[in-house]
Chains A and B, each alone.
Chain A
Amino acid sequence: AQSVTQLDSQVPVFEEAPVELRCNYSSSVSVYLFWYVQYPNQGLQLLLKYLSGSTLVKGINGFEAEFNKSQTSFHLRKPSVHISDTAEYFCALGPYSGGGADGLTFGKGTHLIIQP
């Protein structure tokens, strides 16, 4: 069985401050890891992905994430947030094998609130 835990349901941050959104996962098989962002009344947009290689992954809009296998974590970071970053952020995993037949497993999401 696989699971994703996003430790904070809501994170308030002041504009231009750094932010970290936490994600821990559990899986009995090797997995790929993803962060998606969802703006109000929209679908999911891929922020970044970890498939293999360097454990520090850079994505769009200045976000980055670090894969830590020993701690089974994949935390998302941004050094300086902007009002436009206000959105729901989802961490997700997909099994290494099986061709996506099990789909993505998502966390419950973290609502990032940027305060002026």
Chain B
Amino acid sequence: ETGVTQSPTHLIKTRGQQVTLRCSSQSGHNTVSWYQQALGQGPQFIFQYYREEENGRGNFPPRFSGLQFPNYSSELNVNALELDDSALYLCASSLDRDWPQHFGDGTRLSIL
């Protein structure tokens, strides 16, 4: 059974740039959720995708957007990067929007 994989592992960007983070869900899982974990904090829910549609969204601005593909992999896109976007971005997958969610190792994004 293949777990959740995320790429890249680390990324450095500058303010105002755009970034795309990628996630492959665990084998058989059709639901992907994205979380932002700032340093020293717990993860915060960004949004969830189920069968290629956004299924729910946390308190994040529209410059955070996503996609889910037919193979259930997903992308997180962030436009107009700000310094506060520096964080670990975690992807989690599950089956049919059910619990529990299984997490990948994350992408560490640094904004200079």
Binding site for B on A (CB under 8 A): 4, 32, 34, 36, 41-46, 49, 51, 90, 92, 94, 98-109
Is B102 at the interface (CB under 8 A from chain A)? yes
Is B13 at the interface (CB under 8 A from chain A)? no
Q: Are A103 and B42 in contact (CB under 8 A)?
A: no
Give A95 to B31 CA distance when docked, in angstroms.
Answer: 16
Give A51 to B94 CA distance when docked, in angstroms.
Answer: 15
Total A-B pairs, Cβ < 8 A? 81
Q: Are B55 and A106 in contact (CB under 8 A)?
A: no
User: Chain B residues with Cβ under 8 A from A109's Cβ?
Assistant: 40-42
Q: How large is the interface on B (under 10, 10 to 19, 20 to 34, 35 or more residues)?
A: 20 to 34
Binding site for A on B (CB under 8 A): 4, 6, 31, 33, 35, 40-48, 50, 55-56, 58, 90, 92, 94, 96-106
Q: How far is the CB of B22 from chain A (nearest CB, A)?
A: 14
Q: Are A43 and B94 in contact (CB under 8 A)?
A: no
Give A33 to B28 CA distance when docked, in angstroms.
Answer: 23
Q: How far is the CB of A79 from chain B (nearest CB, A)?
A: 24
Give A103 to B37 CA distance when docked, in angstroms.
Answer: 14
Option from B35, B46, B90, B94 in Cβ contact (under 8 Å) with A100: B94
6 closest residue pairs by CB, A with B? A103-B45, A101-B56, A106-B42, A99-B97, A44-B103, A43-B105
Option from A44, A46, A98, A99 in Cβ contact (under 8 Å) with B90: A44
Q: Are A103 and B35 in contact (CB under 8 A)?
A: yes
Question: Which of B43, B99, B106 has its CB near the most chain A CB atoms (within 10 A)?
Answer: B99
A-B residue pairs in contact (CB < 8 Å), sample of 18: A34-B99, A34-B100, A41-B105, A44-B43, A44-B103, A46-B100, A94-B99, A98-B56, A99-B96, A100-B33, A100-B101, A101-B56, A102-B45, A103-B35, A104-B45, A106-B44, A108-B40, A109-B42
